Structure 1
């Protein structure tokens, strides 16, 4: 029998391999990845400074350690050039040669790439994105050289706010720019967003909202000049872009695998091509794209069983997201996009509880801001219907 092949060595790929090995120690597993295949948890990157973690301390194991631990063959620094779904083969390429890798089952765990804005200026290529440990290493190197520690962050979403909090708490001056009128625009109702923003501003973080970056230029004495669409200029030592991610769907599209925002799968994580599955940030499961850790874990457990011969649909319970902003502790359970909700808010001494109810008065989402509100997480989560019910 041909091996099961996983493309990608991020959290999705390694979590699936680990879950599968709990069920099956014998089946040959192959992992193919374009980078060095170091295993690490990407969510730790946005608060590693506060945790006093150097980039070399973030990795949980190199390719050799992971291959031994999970009994799998890892082809690192290797690119999949083509998926031949009809013949169940991959055309792969590394520095030395191009070869064919057959598979019995194929899993796309190819993640997502940072969205990049079209920004002019002679320093546009110096804008950092942090989507991998390699990216983070470069970011930290440049950060350590910055004399005045001024960091401009593009994007006031989840990652942008987490990085801002991490940087501000470690002696840097963070300024966050976003076209939206509020931080976490897609996750929070405006009244909660305003309170969240005020909490972060009290630590010294600056927000410049309702505008975008047009140009980043080098300056001999001041590092970089960041020119905004509203005419304002900011001085920065380091510029970081955190405006969101786009699932990697190019390889799938070329293989005539159905894609939309991500690689389209059913609740078995199956694509429209036989024996090809998708998992993690690239997977659009039942119309839902949820680039968070908890959905990934649910996917990995279910798919591991399916790959081992026990067909298992993924179960999505209500899965709140904890935002790593200690200056404004925040837990968010977004309401489904296709559900109209009305908000009810309870003000607390140290924050607020905002609940989203649908037309039948069912709780469909919530936002917990502050330490006291956070204690309601489990109680409220139990009241929210599953996104994808458990199979009976």
Structure 2
């Protein structure tokens, strides 16, 4: 039976960037605390954002691994349970049920429990998709399956022209493959960019050898052939869906924790149970889910301080995001969802600057392409904080 070393031991579920950053920061602040990390994958440390540009950088799966699970356990002074899944949280008994590689469920006690379990790829289904392998890439295991067999000349169908779809398409094109993106939006990065900048990104992607079928959806699909809603068809050798993520809330919901779009947390990343916390893609802060690296790391650092005995509220300044599309360097600092206002755009051609001004005249977001991306930090200083 697995058991707790003391009443304050910390159990972290998830070994992604959030889970490992939390454990690292906590260990710095409290050399004595017992830390156990439970992860469904192999426990390797790697940079998840690197998955969408690894081909262009000449990195295979092994080269993406920064440290092995054994190295991470040693560095963190933690117990690491790999290929292990949490099936249940017993809040009253302060235990989780963990099923390891042998398939046997065992209880693991916790003093404080941190859910850093991320998000799942948004399901994609059209008529015929049950008979076609449509990959998603959400972790290193997914990437290994996706990467296997990729070679120059392959025709690759990508569903989704958002940030991840655009990044993967550019990476595939640089590696000599022939990508086609299908998306109902009229321009790439449609939720992040105004039309003028989106149109420049589209031109750049097309110039890089990527076919864009925008304003279109897949009506049905069969092995090697996607039929669009306008009656045309796209032949493909591999397919990848990149239509977004859905926070993993099932485990928390089953335990009776408050759930909305994600696992609801307060400014100290505490769930509706004072002994359970959540960070990263699975968590919903006052600002909503924050599916980017910098907010995740800020959450991990704040929570580490709280767990080490210094209660710390999460604060987040404006955090611009660099989109990894070498065809046209792009930076976005999106305005709050649903904010009324207008984009004000300057520049010409691929070198554009867009400022989103709210109805009260205050700038609350921006987007930059080409030569203007060097202005990101200066512009970010003028933006309102995400969480002050």
Name the TM-score, length of structure 1 as normaliser: 0.94
Which residue number in structure 1 is paired with residue 387 of structure 2?
388
Matched, 1:49 2:49: no
CA distance in 1: counterparts of 2:312 and 2:65, whole angstroms: 31
1:109 CA displacement: 0.3
User: Is residue 287–residue 386 contact of structure 2 (8 Å, CA) maintained in 1?
Assistant: no
1:338 CA displacement: 4.0
User: Is residue 132–residue 222 contact of structure 2 (8 Å, CA) maintained in 1?
Assistant: no
CA distance in 1: counterparts of 2:250 and 2:183, whole angstroms: 28
Deviation sequence 1:164-183 (CA, Å, 0-9, x none): 11111111111000122221
Q: 2:173 aligns with which of 168, 174, 183?
A: 168
Matched, 1:11 2:17: yes
Q: 1:211 aligns with which of 209, 216, 228?
A: 216
1:121 CA displacement: 2.6
CA distance in 2: counterparts of 1:64 and 1:363, whole angstroms: 47
Which residue number in structure 1 is paired with residue 373 of structure 2?
374
Matched, 1:114 2:113: no
Q: Say if 1:171 and 1:255 are closer, same or farther in 2 by CA, change over 3 A.
A: same
CA distance in 2: counterparts of 1:258 and 1:142, whole angstroms: 43
Q: 1:59 aligns with which of 50, 65, 68?
A: 65
Deviation sequence 1:257-315 (CA, Å, 0-9, x none): 11111111111001101210000111111141110000011101100000001000111
User: Is residue 154–residue 240 contact of structure 1 (8 Å, CA) maintained in 2?
Assistant: yes
Which residue number in structure 2 is paired with residue 221 of structure 1?
none
CA distance in 1: counterparts of 2:34 and 2:129, whole angstroms: 49
CA distance in 1: counterparts of 2:322 and 2:360, whole angstroms: 27
Q: Report which stretch shifted further, 253-262 or 91-100.
A: 91-100
1:214 CA displacement: 3.1
CA distance in 2: counterparts of 1:264 and 1:122, whole angstroms: 33
Q: Say if 1:142 and 1:337 are closer, same or farther in 2 by CA, change over 3 A.
A: same
Report the secondary structure of 1:128's partner residue.
coil
Matched, 1:89 2:107: no
1:169-318 to 2 correspondences below 5 Å = 169-218=174-223, 224-318=224-318
Q: Which runs of 5+ in 1 are unaligned?
A: 219-223
User: Is residue 265–residue 285 contact of structure 2 (8 Å, CA) maintained in 1?
Assistant: yes
1:251 CA displacement: 0.2
CA distance in 1: counterparts of 2:337 and 2:101, whole angstroms: 44
Report the secondary structure of 2:303's partner residue.
helix
1:148 CA displacement: 3.2
User: Is residue 153–residue 242 contact of structure 1 (8 Å, CA) maintained in 2?
Assistant: yes
Superposed CA RMSD in Å reads 1.4
1:21 CA displacement: 1.2
User: Is residue 5–residue 30 contact of structure 1 (8 Å, CA) maintained in 2?
Assistant: yes
Q: Which runs of 4+ in 1 moved over 6 A?
A: none
